[in-house]
Copies of this chain bind each other. A is one copy, B any other.
Amino acid sequence: MKALMISAIVTTTLMGASLIDEAKTAGLKPIPANAKALEKLTSNSKNPTTAAKVELGKMLYFEPRLSKSGLISCNTCHNLAIGGTDGMAAAIGHKWTANPHHLSSPTVYNAVFYSQQFWDGRSPHLEDQAQGPIQAGPEMAAPKDFVEGVVNSIPAYVNAFKKAYGKDVKVTFEKVADTIAVFERTLVTPSRYDDFLNGKKNALSKAEQKGLKTFIDKGCATCHNDIALGGTMNAFNVTGQYKHMNVGDFKGDANGMVRVPTLRNVTETAPYFHNGQIATLNEAIKEMGRIQLGANLSDTETAEIETFLKALEGKKPTIVYPMLPASTAKTPKVDVINN
């Protein structure tokens, strides 16, 4: 009996260790535990992260006056309180317009780890991505010059840009987006899963480890890979056998493909899929097995994977709600009803 127990412990330990190797071989990577390594990984060399930019970027992220109505901020649809998204099947923007392609808002948490942004993956990084929703008619609906007019009309913002970029900075629309991106680069959520991949073998329970193994064995990690467990490729064929295809007219990229979303904090980002047509995680796992892997996942396998996915709930950064500077007489007036 004693020998058996020891044997079990040894086996467990080895399984933990070999599962880490297996996960890495499958293309899964942890968020670095080392703060400096993480900062290096998440900083854009052309737009390096600094404390002044992060602070200003946070203000702009929560700034409703960047929208044409003065009512909608980045945080409206990518709400940091509720998983970095909005809980909607299709995003709602300017004048209560639903996304015309019935696309849901992807979470902003861990989006820094994506190599391609937006549902069709058309954008290479957050600096570029952040320019989109501010201008998009059904989202924040603000022309570039409107945004520049707002920010330049408020001396506290202009001073904050000077502090962040030097006294000769020109506060352009692109600079606004760049600065928001720097804040977004800090929105990473390390979890017990990362502790596990970083070598702490008991950070995941046995059931969670079993789920991770099933996740790998069934092929989920083929697309849900790298640090974000997603974000590195377009792989979901919207013109395929997806049973909720008829909601929205989104065609995906040139090949009809949709970007693979992150699975981090997936318990907080329902409803699922690009058009938000799947309400529960259990259903999402089964549907993915069917469409993407050609596999009818059993209830047991589905539950195992779900148990693993729950372990991807990460620790959110502490965000002190920003106090934003007041408008001035020069700030463009909004007519929220008529414009």
Contact = CB atoms under 8 A, between A and B. Distances in A.
A324 B64 contact: no
Interface stretch (A23-31, A78-86, A217-225): A78-86
Per DSSP, are chain A's interface residues mostly helix, strand or loop, or mixed?
A: loop
A70 to B, nearest CB: 5
Given A323-B316, A336-B92, A329 B280 contact: yes
Interface string A326-339: 11010001101100
A267 B95 contact: no
A9 interface: no
Interface in A21-76: 62-65, 69-71, 76
A81 B336 contact: no
B82 A324 contact: yes
Contacts of A82: 64-65, 324, 326
Contacts of A318: 320
Interface residues of A, number: 42
Contacts of A334: 87-88
Contact of A81 (B89, B268, B322): B322
A172 to B, nearest CB: 23
A79 to B, nearest CB: 7
A319 interface: yes
Interface in A154-177: none
B333 A83 contact: no
Copies per complex of this chain: 2
A247 to B, nearest CB: 12
Contact of A336 (B98, B268, B327): B98
A303 B318 CA distance: 42
A103 interface: no
Contacts of A62: 81
B324 A321 contact: no
Nearest to A95: B96
Interface string A304-321: 000000000000101111
Contacts of A96: 95-96
A279 interface: yes
A267 B155 CA distance: 14
Contacts of A324: 81-82
Contacts of A63: 81
B316 A319 contact: no
A269 B82 CA distance: 28
> Which of A63, A96, A320 has the most chain B CB atoms closer than 10 A to its own CB?
A96
B71 A326 contact: no
Interface string A254-286: 000000000000011010000000011000000
A267 B329 contact: no
Contacts of A319: 320-321
Interface of A: 62-65, 69-71, 76, 79-83, 86-90, 92, 95-96, 98, 267-268, 270, 279-280, 316, 318-324, 326-327, 329, 333-334, 336-337
A-B interface, 6 closest residue pairs, ranked by CB to CB distance from nearest: A96-B96, A319-B321, A268-B326, A81-B324, A321-B321, A95-B96
15 contacts: A63-B81, A64-B82, A69-B92, A70-B88, A71-B88, A80-B321, A81-B324, A82-B324, A82-B326, A95-B96, A96-B96, A98-B337, A268-B326, A319-B320, A320-B321
